[in-house]
Structure formats: structure tokens, C-alpha cells
Amino acid sequence: MVAGPGAACAPDLLGRTPSPVTGFRLIILAAVVVAAAVSVPEIAPGLLARLVETPATQRAEASPPRRPAAPASKPVAATARERAARPSSSATGRRVVLEADRGGHFLVDASINGRRIEAMVDTGATTVSLTAETARRLGIHPPRSAFNLPSSTANGIVNVARVMLSEIRVGGIRVRDVEATVIPGDLLRVNLLGMSFLGRLSKFELSGPRLVLLE
């Protein structure tokens, strides 16, 4: 006996109570399946499988497959920092750039025989010249008889003492066994790095307010 459209439907095997409209549709679809099975037996199993599909199965088939997450790209800033952190090397030797002061002089903190001194680079000076006070600080004490070498200075001709310096350092530049002179008294107010030092470099170049020293 077939229930009318207004009759209540019995619960199914899972305890769910279908609505009257749903029950009516199932009856129609069952009739279609029976008719198809009689006429074309091969398609009946497929139709029956589609009828019993659950909504969850249908949603799973309809949803597209998820794509794997793309690997995180490396930040550009970090890459730039790594490049900046890579050490650079120069095949031409050590290089020091000096900036001139307002008077056009190239003052530098140098190291002579392991002790720090202040000096001025002077391309017009023949040798490295030390004040008497600097010589004492370095432990250099020429006897009076050693002041027998005439030298032209801003104060005229002066007898100076010739000495040999073990090492002069300016920045990363190092020159060993450098000839120098000690100026007596207070005739010299600043130590001079002259050609006995500069001539031992591979190159020095004056360009405007800059003096470039290259070992």
C-alpha cells in the first residue's frame, strides 16, 4: 500500500525520518531504476550506487584537491645582508686613504717601533723626521756627536742625527727598516713621514683633498 502525500513516513535504517516529498522522490527514482534494470541491465548497478550516495560523499567528490603549500621564499633583505657580509679581498695590497684637514695637511696616527705617534705625511720631505721629544719616547737617544748631518728645514740648515727605525705602521700598511732623522731641540713641532717611508710603498697618489697610500 502506497502512502499518500500527507502521510507520515517511517524512519529509515539510520533512524532518520525522511520528509514526505523526499519519500515520494525515492519512490519515483526506484521505479526508474527498476525500469532501467529491465531494459538495460548493465546500467542498473551504477544508478543504484548514485541513489544511495551520502551527502558527505558527494561533497568530497565535488571539492577540488588541495594544492601543497609553496615553500616560503627567502627574504630579499636577508639575501642582501648575506652578500654584504661576504669578505672582500684586494690583490693589489693594503690601501689607506687620508683626508686633508682645513690647512691642507695630511695628519695621521702612525706606529713607530710599536709605539703610537702623531705625524704628518709630507711628500716634500726627504726622510722621516722625528722631534727630539718623540725620539725620547721611542727610546732613541743619539749622542751629540751623531748630530753631524746638515739638513735643510724651515728654520734653515740644521745638523740632524741619522737613525734607523725598525718599523712604521699606518693603518694596515707596514714598512720595515726605515731611515729617519732626529731634529734637535724644538725646531720641529710635528713628526714628518717623508720619502724614506713613502718611497717604500708600491704607490702613493695625491688627488685633491685625498692622499692614497698603497703598500
Instruction: Specify whether 203 is located in the same domain as 113.
Output: yes
Which CATH number fits the domain that encloses residue 128? Answer: 2.40.70.10
Q: Say how many C-beta atoms besides its own lie within 10 A of residue 122's C-beta.
A: 19
68 versus 194: the higher-pLDDT residue is 194
User: What pLDDT does residue 31 have?
Assistant: 67
**Over residues 39-44, mean pLDDT:** 50
The DSSP code for 75 is: P
CA distances from 209 to 104, 118, 198 (A): 7, 19, 18
Domain count of the fold of the chain: 2
Q: What is the mean pLDDT of the chain?
A: 75
Instruction: Specify whether 105 is located in the same domain as 51.
Output: no
CA atoms within 13 A on the CB side of 15: 0
pLDDT digits (tens, 9 = 90+) for 159-184: 999 999 999 999 999 999 999 999 99
pTM: 0.56
* Domain presence at residue 35: yes
* Domain presence at residue 160: yes
Instruction: Specify whether 109 is located in the same domain as 182.
Output: yes
Instruction: Specify whether 36 is located in the same domain as 128.
Output: no
pLDDT digits (tens, 9 = 90+) for 49-100: 454 454 444 454 555 556 555 544 444 333 333 333 333 223 335 899 999 9
Instruction: Specify whether 49 is located in the same domain as 110.
Output: no
* Domain presence at residue 47: yes
CA distances from 118 to 105, 187, 190 (A): 13, 17, 8
